[in-house]
Each structure stands twice: as C-alpha cells, then as structure tokens.
Amino acid sequence: MSRSILPVLTICAGLVLLWYGGAIWMNWQVVADTQARAGATPGLMEMVRLTLNHARPLLPAPHQILDELWRSTATLPVTSRRSLVHHAWVTLSAALLGFGMGTAFGVLLAVAVVHIRALERSLMPWIVASQAVPVLALAPIVIVALGAMGLEGLLPKAIIAAYLCFFPIAIGMVKGLRAPDATARDLMRTWSATQAQVFWKLRLPASLPFLFAGLKVAMAAAVVGAIVAELPAGAQAGLGARLLAGSYFGQTIQIWAALVAAAILSATLVGLLGAAERLVARRMGARA
Amino acid sequence: MTGLLALIVTGGFAALIATVHAGAGGTGFWMGVVATTLLAAWLVQRLGDAPDRGLPALAAPVAFGATVLALWEVLVLGLSVPMVLLPAPSAIAARAWLAAPMLWGDFAQTFLKAVLSGYVIGCGAGFALALVADRLPFLRRGLLPLGNLVAALPVVGIAPILVMWFGFDWQSKAAVVVAMTFFPMLVNTVAGLAAAGALERDLMRSYAASPGQTLWLLKLPSALPFIFTALKVNAPLALIGAIVAEFFGSPTQGMGFRITTEAAKLALDLVWAEIVVAAVAGSAFYGLVALAERAATFWHPSVRP
C-alpha cells in the first residue's frame, strides 16, 4: 500500500494543477468581458488573480471551494439554514435510515431465497433483472405517492435509499450464504446439525465477506439515493437541495461545496464499513 | 397436472379482471381473489422444481411475474386505490398506447442521443486510459486507489455543473454519462490487463513478442471478462445518469424531464409508462451487452456449458 502513496499524491497534485489551469481557462472569457465593459485593461497576473477569485465562476478554483466549505461548516452555527452541516445531516439521516431498512430487508430476503427453493426460482430472476432498471427514475413516484398518503420529509427519502441499497445486499448475501461448499455442509450433516445450527454456525459466518462487499456498495448507493430523492420534491434542506438551489441561482461555488461534502460523507461512511469489515475479519481469525 | 393448474389460474385471473372491470365486487369476489392467489402460489411452487436450464427454467419467473401483474390489476381496481398512489397496469398500458409518439420522442432524446453517445465516449476513454496505465506502472499505482475511491462517491451529483457547462440539451446529459461510466471501465480494465498469468507473460517474452503483440494476443483476451463486467455495470448507470441529469434542467423532452413534470402534475399513469420504457430500455441494453459477452468470451469457464 505504501508503494502507491507517491503515485497517488503525484496524480492528485497533477489534478489540482490541471484544475487551476482549467479554472483560469474557463473563467477567462467572463472576466475579460467584465473588465472590457469597465474599460480596464488588467495585466496577465491581474487577469489570473481575477479568474481564480470570481464570485460566480464557471469553474471555481479549489481554494474557493475549500473556503466555502470552511465558511459554511465551521463559521456558521449548525442550526443555521445556510450551514452545510445542517444540510449534510438531513441527507445523512435519510441515507442511514434507508441503509438500515435496506440492509434488514436485503438480508431477510436473502435468507428466505436460500431456504425456499420456489422463491429462488421465481423471484431471483426478477431481482437480478431489476438491477438493469434505472431505479432512481422511480424516486419522483415514491415521493408523490407517499406525499399523497401524508408522508413527507425523512421517510420517503429513506425509502428510496433503502430501495437502492437492498439489491446489492440481497445479491451478495445470497452468494455468501451459498458459499459453504458441499464438504462443509456434509460435515454439518455428520454432526446431525439442525438447519438453524447450519445457518448460524456455517452459512452466516461464511457470508460475512460477501455481506460487507454488498454493504459498501449499498452505502454509496444510499447516499446517492438520499441526494437524488431531494431533487424532484423540491426539498428545502439537504445536500441535494443545495445542488438544486445552486443550479437555479448559478451559485457554482455552493454546488461544488455541496458536492465535496457529499463525497466526504460517502467516502467516510464506506471507509467506516471497511474498518468494521477488517475488525470482524480479525475477530473471526483472518490473517491481517 | 401443472398445465391444468396453469390453465385454471389463468382462467381465474381473467374472470377476476373481467369482474373488477365490470365494477362488481363483494365477498364472493374477494374469496375468488384469495383462492386464485393461493392456486397461483402453488403453481409457482410446482414450476420451481423444473430443470435449471433452458426454457423450463423461465416458467417459474414468468408465472410469478404474471401473478404479480394480475394481482396488481385486481387489487388496485377492486380496492379502488386512487390513481395518485398506484395506477392499474391496464391504465398504464392504455396511457402508454395513447402517448406512444411522445414516449418515443423522450426515448430518442434521452437514450439514443445522451445515453449511447455518453456510454461510448465514457467507456472508450476509460479503456484508453487503462491501456496507457498498463504501460506505465507509476500511473497505474496512482490511478487504481483513486478509481476505487470514486466508486464510493456520488458521481451523479456533478450533473448540475455539467448542465451549466454544456447547456440544457443532450450534450450535458451525455457528459454526465461519461463521468459515471469512465471510472468503472478504467478500474476494471486495469485489473483485467493485469490478470494474465506470469507464465503466459514469460512465454510471450520468450517469443520476443512486442508490447503491442502481447497486448493484442494475451492481455486483451484475458481482460475481456473484466471489460464486459464494466460494460454491464455501466449500462444501467448510464441510463440513471442521463435521467437524473434531466432533473436539473432539459429541453421539453426526455425521460427524466417527463417523469418530474408529470409527477408534479400527478399524472402518475404517464410517469409509470415512462418508467416501463426506462425499464425495458435498461434491461434490453444490459441484455445486449450480456449477449455480446457470451459471443466474445465463449471460452471463459463462466460461459462454457
């Protein structure tokens, strides 16, 4: 792993440089027009400074985004409507609730599918096929239908997030519960283990690596689901609402800050799951 | 026996649907619904014991899907569920039939223009960069962790920015699709190009094969399963990207545009019709890629019978 630190840092540095170059290039025209209207003829260095500090740039420079992130998280009270922490929490709560619901449903479904043959034969092909369906397109329907039933706010978003994350979990879990080979299952039989014992002592431990792989995919999907669920409903709060408001009012820095916040949120959650996975693997006696 | 059962279930549901369309109801009707559903469950159970391969294996999922569809129709009409909540399949089909030209226009705008062009460019660019990275180990070691990190990020959030850059028309949607499909392709192709065994590589060296020959004759074939995995993962991703990007602004056409505007007008039958189009397009796209995979990697253990 340490072998890849230098290459990763090099590429990141290259990307940042590329970004600054892009910011100068993309904002040049806008700045040049304003300056020409004002009758000013700034020098090259002055132009560069202006392109990198434009208030509503086409592409904000990285330091502008970091500045906005800092301003909207650290300097504002958390309860403020302009605080990014507030919006991130709205999205995070929906994503986590949906993730919990999706995980429970996905695991239950997988257990049922593994034990009931008819269910596997009839339902599993549909679950697999539904992976090819753009599920996110259903988000507006869920919002509208639940809104008609008087449900608004957290729950509809959580349901969309749950809907997105139960597939990878169910698929991974089914694969995992099937992972023990015939020798292991025969061994359990020779010990005359009950079906419950086979499940708790053989199938479930064997499925954990698959479950965690699914959980990590599902976690990222849950964040995407919670964000996208905020788009069609015109939500007032949340990272998706920030994206939408930013795109309406041309506040590019705000969009980028919300995007970076979403990326940090998602990467942290997936990272936490990865840490939990390593912990569980060590408890189960895997080599570090 | 199974055939007879299937006949009874089909007839039962046909009678129930006819009754519910005629507006009849009552205890007898609901007892009929329960009985037919139980028979259908029994049928699915029996079909589940069919052989694993070939056409008989399709019987159970088809029967299950048809049962769900029939129950949906009977329950929605029988309980008079409001259209806002869930329209009946017949209502969706009728609306789709009437709105077919519009649905086709949306499909052309979103799928034929945005999804396909974005998919080709995104996958092509990811593949090209993977080829470069395979020749430069430094680049590969740097790109792989970043590519894996991007998989955990909500890439689709970049949509409002790209809409701002490339305008409301399909070009901005294609750009979102490019951003979403690029990284899965890159990561998978890099992994695939590294998948050729050391033994085979040494053999190519001992033949004094040029890097191009090694790539063409050894590395690309062994990378094909990985590449097709990325192509399959990217197929639904591309459709999602284009549809979500349309939520941020689009010309007055397109599947994502239609879904948001009609959902706001509570015309849920039209929204469902659009969803059906998206589902069929997504599955067909995925299916085509899967077919191409079977044809191209016929030698692979997972495809070989």
Question: What's the average model confidence in pLDDT over B143-168?
Answer: 84
Can you give the pLDDT at residue A76?
Answer: 75
Smallest CA–CA distance, residue A232 to chain B, in Å, is 6
Can you give the pLDDT at residue B303?
Answer: 65
Return d(Cα A130, Cα B68) in angstroms, integer. Answer: 15
Is B138's CB within 8 Å of A7's CB?
A: yes
Is B152's CB within 8 Å of A266's CB?
A: yes
Tokens of B13: 């549901």
Can you give the pLDDT at residue B203?
Answer: 92
Consecutive H or E run containing A26: helix A5-38
Find, among B36, B214, B21, the residue nearest to B134 by Cα. Answer: B214
Q: At what angle do helices B170-193 and B116-135 cross, to 10 degrees?
A: 30
CB B152 within 8 A of CB A270: yes
Tens of pLDDT along chain A (288 residues) come to 567 788 888 888 988 899 888 888 888 888 888 888 887 777 778 888 888 887 778 888 888 888 888 888 777 777 777 788 888 888 899 999 999 999 999 999 999 988 887 777 778 778 777 776 777 777 777 777 777 777 777 888 888 889 888 888 888 888 888 888 888 888 998 999 888 888 888 888 888 888 888 898 889 889 988 888 887 666 678 888 888 888 888 788 888 888 888 888 998 998 899 899 889 888 887 664
Residue B246, helix vs strand vs coil: helix
Comparison of pLDDT for A38 and B181, the residue scoring more: B181
- Residues in chain A with CB shorter than 8 Å from the CB of B240 are 134-137
Q: How many helices (H) and strands (E) does chain A have?
A: 12, 0
**How far are the Cα atoms of A51, A129, A168, A217, A269 from residue A221, in angstroms, in the given order?**
36, 18, 9, 6, 11
Q: Which A-chain residues 229-288 have CB contacts (< 8 A) with chain B?
A: 231-232, 239, 243-244, 246-247, 250, 252, 255-256, 258-259, 262-263, 266-267, 270-271
Return d(Cα B131, Cα B138) in angstroms, integer. Answer: 13
**Chain B interface mutation, best of A243, A268, A270, highest count of B Cβ atoms under 10 Å:** A243
Rounded to the nearest angstrom, the gap between the alpha carbon of residue B170 and the centroid of all alpha carbons in its chain is: 20
Can you give the pLDDT at residue A97?
Answer: 94
DSSP H helical segments within A116-153, as ranges?
A: 117-130, 139-148
Return d(Cα B209, Cα B62) in angstroms, integer. Answer: 51
CATH code for the domain defined by B98-296 = 1.10.3720.10
Return d(Cα B225, Cα B231) in angstroms, integer. Answer: 10
Return d(Cα A27, Cα A21) in angstroms, integer. Answer: 10
AA identity, residue A76: L
- Residues in chain A with CB shorter than 8 Å from the CB of B275 are 137-138, 141
- Residues in chain B with CB shorter than 8 Å from the CB of A216 are 152
- The count of CB pairs under 8 A between chains A and B is 180
Is A123's CB within 8 Å of B64's CB?
A: yes
Q: Does B39 touch chain A (CB under 8 A)?
A: no
Q: How does pLDDT run across B1-21, given as a tens digit for each residue? A: 778 888 888 888 888 888 877
Tokens of A74: 């650290």
Can you give the pLDDT at residue B227?
Answer: 92
pLDDT higher than 80, residue B85: no
pLDDT band at B124 (very low <50, low <70, confident <90, very high): very high
Strands (E), chain B: none
Is B240's CB within 8 Å of A11's CB?
A: no
CB A196 within 8 A of CB A159: no
Is A122's CB within 8 Å of B64's CB?
A: yes
CB A170 within 8 A of CB A127: yes
Tokens of A160: 């969309």
Can you give the pLDDT at residue B88?
Answer: 86
Q: Which B-chain residues 91-150 have CB contacts (< 8 A) with chain A?
A: 138-146, 149
Q: Which A-chain residues 142-161 have CB contacts (< 8 A) with chain B?
A: 143-145, 148-149
ipTM of the complex: 0.81
Can you give the pLDDT at residue B302?
Answer: 67
pLDDT band at B129 (very low <50, low <70, confident <90, very high): very high
- Residues in chain B with CB shorter than 8 Å from the CB of A256 are 161
Any idea how long chain A is?
288
pTM: 0.84
Is A243's CB within 8 Å of B49's CB?
A: no
Q: Name the residue among A122, A137, A270 with its Cβ closest to that of B60.
A: A122
Q: Does A120 touch chain B (CB under 8 A)?
A: yes
Q: Does B79 touch chain A (CB under 8 A)?
A: no
Is B160's CB within 8 Å of A247's CB?
A: yes
Q: Name the residue among A125, A232, A270 with its Cβ closest to that of B263.
A: A232
- Residues in chain B with CB shorter than 8 Å from the CB of A235 are none
Tokens of A190: 């020779």
Question: What's the average model confidence in pLDDT over B224-239?
Answer: 89
pLDDT band at B207 (very low <50, low <70, confident <90, very high): very high
Can you give the pLDDT at residue B54?
Answer: 65
Q: How does pLDDT run across B246-285, given as a tens digit for each residue? A: 888 778 888 888 888 888 888 888 888 988 888 888 888 9
- Residues in chain A with CB shorter than 8 Å from the CB of B57 are 121
Return d(Cα A147, Cα B9) in angstroms, integer. Answer: 36
Find, among A124, A105, A211, A107, the residue nearest to A162 by Cα. Answer: A105
pLDDT higher than 80, residue B300: no
- Residues in chain A with CB shorter than 8 Å from the CB of B151 are 220
CB A98 within 8 A of CB A142: no
Which positions ≥6 away from B155 have C-beta within 8 Å? B179, B180, B183, B241
Find, among A11, A22, A2, A18, the residue nearest to A252 by Cα. Answer: A22
Percent of chain B at pLDDT exceeding 90: 15
Find, among B227, B125, B102, B236, the residue nearest to B175 by Cα. Answer: B125
pLDDT band at B47 (very low <50, low <70, confident <90, very high): confident
Question: What's the average model confidence in pLDDT over B67-85?
Answer: 81
- Residues in chain A with CB shorter than 8 Å from the CB of B166 are none
